[in-house]
Amino acid sequence: MKNKTKAIGMGACALLFSCAAHAEPAPPTEAHFTHTAVNIDGMLNEPIWKTAPVYQLELPKNKSREGQRVQESGTVQLAWNETHIYFAFHLQDSDLVAEGTENQLHHYKLGDVAEVFLKPKNQTWYWELYVTPAGNKTSFFMPGRGRRGLESNFNYACGLRVASQQDGTLNNWKDRDTAWTAEMAMPIADLTANGDAFDPEADWMIFFNRYNFSRYLSDKEQTMHPPLRNQDNHLYEDYSPRKLVLLLPANP
């Protein structure tokens, strides 16, 4: 029996807006169901990562980037089960940088980082989650964009787990590195703590962002999925017209 699919609306740290009034709807971003929990070790060797769709991180879709190409590519994949939503990143990187040594820091100011933004479509609040090549994590919770910047947003504690693997040497600008991989597991219990549902019937938005520091780049590179027309990750009205789709397992 074929997998059933039901749409989860996305957009604020993720999706649902029209890049052009006449543009065709963008394809959905899919999270495949996994019967086996992902071992969060950063190695990306679970069977689910061999079958889940791979999404390329792209440059922002603004005029200042016209004609430019991504210098160091990256991808993200999604999976889920009854207890967690999982993310897997594979990121080419010529210079691995992670100067932050603790969790809950603003790591996007301290080196390479992969970010996930999650938001219930019809609510004001959203989550901002990070992983670094060093395996550090950050979980911020914004009750609403009008409270952005308050210290209370940065004291959020949840069950987020992350792990990274490095193909290269961390924080050594004199050599040349290759890549890093990372896995993240966000408990659904944390996402539903304020009364929101997180299942194939619920409307959520999701967005992925990467900051890449490297001595070999002409400037810090920002890539994302879906690509925005601006570079402010918090302007969720400007997310691409997509839907997050949770794929349900086939009936036994």
**Model confidence, pTM:** 0.86
Spell out the domain ranges in the chain.
5-19+26-247
Segment 53-112, tens digit of pLDDT: 999 999 988 766 677 899 999 999 999 999 999 999 999 999 999 999 999 999 999 999
How much is the pLDDT for 96?
98
Cα atoms found within 13 Å of the Cα of residue 246, Cβ hemisphere only: 22
Model confidence at 3, pLDDT cuts 50, 70, 90, reads: very low
- Find the mean pLDDT for residues 194-217: 93
Place of tokens 């709807």: 25
How would residue 243 be classed by pLDDT, with cut points 50, 70 and 90? low
Q: pLDDT digit string (tens) for 147-156?
A: 999 999 999 9
Q: How confident is the model at residue 23 (pLDDT cuts 50, 70, 90)?
A: very low
For the domain spanning 5-19+26-247, the CATH number is 2.60.40.1190
What value does the mean pLDDT take over residues 187-200? 95
Integer Cα distance of 136 and 182 in angstroms = 10
Residue from 133, 134, 182, 138 nearest 160 by CA? 138
Confirm if 7 and 201 have CB atoms less than 8 A apart. Answer: no
